[in-house]
A and B are shown apart, each in its own frame.
Chain A
């Protein structure tokens, strides 16, 4: 087939319309979310004292941190699904959760500590955290990768890493409602390690499946 012939067939297909990447990503995450929620409901569940915990600002802070990861990661991943897009100018959005955590750690340090620092950092649930966040991330990660496959990222591994951040941020939001460790030190340590694991998986898979 010579190129003129190919052009003719492409022009004939002009009427075909694809949905935007954002719509496909949203749908894919909505399809994946029940699976992650099922994992949550089966193995974890809400913490027993959730009503009183809601009066603790450090409990609420966990959701601020995880959502300030997930939502900017969705925005940046959609931006990067355009071939000409650069991370420059957008990457700072991903520092939001880091900034929030720093503020939270600072404010906790200024209060009279209920527990010594090492106990707050180590917590009681570090092992659960390291397993639960990646496990609940996996369906969401598959959904995010499926959605981003609809795009045309010039750097598939980077886009895959962002899919990892999206799914880890959402999974961590679920996990935060189960975990009784509310210290920002705990969040900064264990949530971060779990998120890093998911991000590395996302980058590795993304470098294969997000090529177009």
Chain B
């Protein structure tokens, strides 16, 4: 545990110093841990575990957009887990309400049948569709098609700076939509 968390702190320090690969590696390393925590949280709240991926993605977005609140002198894990806990509680509260609404909805039309579960990890994808065209194109290109910023810029005849801005704004808008929807 200790070793793993020290490694995370080291990776995050490199990431903040501008090492994109270290940042990618860190995010990959923490994702399974966040996923397990999200599943545990859902299970404890009596909710289906297939929504864990939505929560994981929400946590990752928050980690990304709030990483300037991490103090590089402090260990990374407590900071990460504080954000994860916060997002998990938020998500459970929201889903708690929605599942409740679902049950009421279905009770009238389909008596005796269990309410259908919502699709897994679909929330970011669904909110992606509500973004402005340009941000959506850029996100689609970089995330889904794995294009570099440079290639994306060439593809849409944008400057690399404009791609970076659209990417960041897209991620920030996604986060805001997930929080407020």
Contacts and interface: CB of A to CB of B under 8 A. Distances in A.
Interface residues of A, number: 30
Interface in B137-181: 139, 142-144, 146, 148-149, 164, 167-168, 171, 179
Interface in A150-176: 150-152, 154
A20 B68 CA distance: 6
Interface residues of B, number: 48
A154 B87 CA distance: 10
A212 to B, nearest CB: 6
Interface stretch (B1-9, B54-62, B96-104): B54-62
A13 B121 CA distance: 21
B134 interface: no
Nearest to B34: A3
B92 interface: no
B121 A2 contact: yes
A3 B144 CA distance: 10
Interface in B97-114: none
Given A10-B64, A83-B66, A212 B79 contact: no
Contacts of B179: 211-212
A13 B171 contact: yes
Contact of B171 (A10, A21, A82): A10
Most buried by A among B53, B68, B70, B83: B68
A205 to B, nearest CB: 16
Contacts of A81: 69
A6 B82 contact: no
B15 A10 contact: no
A8 interface: yes
B146 A10 contact: no
Contact of B27 (A7, A21, A82, A211): A7
B61 A6 contact: yes
A5 B174 CA distance: 14
A1 B124 contact: yes
A9 B60 contact: no
Interface string B7-19: 0000000010011
Nearest to B139: A9
Contact of B60 (A10, A14, A16, A20): A10
Given A9-B171, A13-B167, A14-B18, A3 B60 contact: yes
Interface of B: 15, 18-21, 23-24, 27-28, 31, 53, 56-57, 60-62, 64-66, 68-71, 74, 78-79, 81-83, 85-86, 90, 121, 124-125, 128, 139, 142-144, 146, 148-149, 164, 167-168, 171, 179
Closest 10 CB pairs of A and B: A11-B24, A84-B82, A83-B82, A9-B143, A152-B66, A5-B143, A18-B68, A14-B23, A84-B78, A10-B64
15 contacts: A1-B124, A1-B125, A3-B31, A3-B57, A7-B27, A9-B171, A12-B167, A14-B20, A15-B18, A18-B68, A81-B69, A83-B86, A152-B66, A212-B65, A212-B86
